[in-house]
Amino acid sequence: MRSAAANESPQRYTDTRWIVAAVGAIIAVRLIAAALIDLGADESYYFLWSRHLAWSYYDHPPMVAWWIALGTATFGDHPFGIRVVFVLSAIPTSIAVYLTGRVLFDRAAGGLAALWINATLLFGVGGLSATPDAPAVMFWALAACAFAYLTKTGRGEWWLAVGLFAGFGVASKLTDLFLGLGILLCLVVYTDLRRWWTSFWLWLGALAAALVVAPMILWNLDHDWATFARQFSRLTPRAFDPLRFPEFIATQFALLNPLIAMFVGLATAVWIGGRPAYPIRAIGLLLWTTVPPIAYMALHSLHGQVQAHWLAPIFPTLVVAAAGAATAPPAIRYAALRSLAFPVGVGLSLVGLILAANPYGILPPRLDPGQVNHGWEGVAADAERLREQSGAGWIAAANYAAHAIVAYNLRDTGVPVIAVTGRARYAFAPPPDPALLDRPALLIVNEAGAGRFASCFAEMTPVGTIERRSGEAIVETFAAFRVAGAKPTLLADGC
C-alpha cells in the first residue's frame, strides 16, 4: 500500500487560510526569538548606522540602516526594535512567492512556495537578524514577482514595478545587481520577450531603477566609491582552491533545507532535460534569472570561500521553481518528500533558534553556533567598570565588532566609545571630539594583538582582562590597558 504522504494531493496547498495561519505562527515564533536572542556585532554596527542615516555606508548600501531606524523609532532600541522590520519582511516576501507561483504555475505551486520559503534554514534562523540580507531577499522576490506578471500578462507597465523593486534591492545589497543580468538573459533567450528591447516601458523601468539608486551612487561619488570598493574587494580571486566548491554546494544545500534543495535539483534537471510533462517555460523563466549569481559564486568558490548567505536573494526564486516542479503531475512519485519538506524545515529552524539562543550556556563553545553573539553585554559592563577604576575618560576599541557591541550596550551612559582602527568605516558619523586625545582611555583588544598599539600611545598600562562568556564557558578574552599620549592623527586615521 502507498503511504498517506505518497497519496498527498497538491490541492492541499490551495487552502489559503491554513497557509496564512502556518506562516503567521512561524513569524510569531521568530518575533519572540528576535526579542530573546542576543544581538550580534554586525547588528550592533548597523544600529550605529541607523543613528546617523545616510545614502550609503562603507560596507553596504543604506537600506539596513533605514529599516533599523524604522523599527527602533516604533519599538525602541532593544533587540526586538532593531530586528522587527526584518522579521516582518517575511510577510511581503511570502506574498510575493505565492503570487509568483500562482501566476506562473497554479495556486498549489504558489501555496507550496509560500510555505517552503518559510521552511528554509536561511529564513527560519537567519531571517530574524538585522542584516542587509532580509531587504535584499524581499526586494528580489518582489521584482521577480513583477517580472512574472509582465511575462504572463504582456502589460508593459509591469516594467516600472520591476525597476523600482530591483532598484530598492540594489539599495539593500549589491548582490541584487545580478537580477538585472538575469532578466536581460531572459530577454535574449526567449524570442517572444525580445520585443521588449524596443518598448519604452523597458527603458522607463530602467530609469525607475536608476532613480532609486541615484542617491547611493552620488554618495559613493563623494566618498571614493567606498561601498563598491569594499564589496568588490571581497571578490578578488585568490589561489586556486577547488575544495571550496563542494563546501559552497553543501552550504547552499543545507540553508535551502535539504528536501527543498532536492526539488530545486528536480526543477533544474527537468529544465535542462526539456521534460515536456513539466512546466518548462515557467521554470526556465525563474532559473535563468538565477544563473548569473550562481555562475559567479561557483567560479569564485574555486578561488576563495563563498559566505553561506551571499546567495540569499535568489532563494525565493529557487523555491518557486522547486514548488512548480513539485506540484507538476509527474512529481506524484515524490509526494512523500514534498509533504515532509515543510515540517522538517520548520523543525530544523526551531532547533536552530534554540541553539542560537543557547539558554543557560548548555552548549560548549565549539558546538555553539551562536557564540559570536553571546557575552557582549558582560564585556561592555566590565569595560565600563575598568574605565572607571583606571580613571580613563573614554573607551578605545581595537576592531569594529568590539566597538559596535560595546557602544551599543553603553549607548545611554554618555561614555565615548571610539574604534581606533578602520576609521574609514565611520564616515557616516560626526568625527570624535579631538579633546579626547588629551584624556587617558581604556583600550580593549584581543590579547594576541595588543603589541601593535604601542606605536599609537605613549603609555600603555595593563589594568586587567575581560572575558566574553557563553554561560560558564569562556569564548574570548580581551586585554584592557589604560592608554595615554595618543598620536595626533589617531581619531582621523586610526592605529
Whole-number Å distance between alpha carbons of 12 and 107: 10
Distance (Å) of CA 161 to CA 141, 157, 314 = 12, 7, 18
d(CA 473, CA 475): 6
Q: Report pLDDT digits (tens) over 239-293.
A: 778 888 898 899 999 999 999 999 999 999 999 999 988 999 999 999 999 999 9
Half-sphere exposure of 338 (CA within 13 A, CB side): 33
Q: For residue range 324-336, list pLDDT tens digits in order.
A: 999 999 988 999 9
Nearest C-alpha neighbor of 289 from the set 200, 169, 204: 169
Each residue's pLDDT tens digit, 423-448? 888 988 899 999 999 999 999 998 77
pLDDT band at 367 (very low <50, low <70, confident <90, very high): low
DSSP structure string for 101-165: HHHHT-HHHHHHHHHHHTTSHHHHTGGGS-STHHHHHHHHHHHHHHHHHHHHH--TTHHHHHHHH
- How many CB atoms are located within 10 Å of the residue 352 CB? 17
Contacts of 362 (CB under 8 A, 6+ apart): 471
Q: Express each pLDDT in 385-437 by its tens digit.
A: 999 999 999 999 988 888 999 999 999 898 999 999 988 889 888 999 999 99
The model's pTM: 0.93
Rg of the chain over CA atoms, in angstroms?
25
* Domain definitions of the chain by residue range: 10-357, 372-493
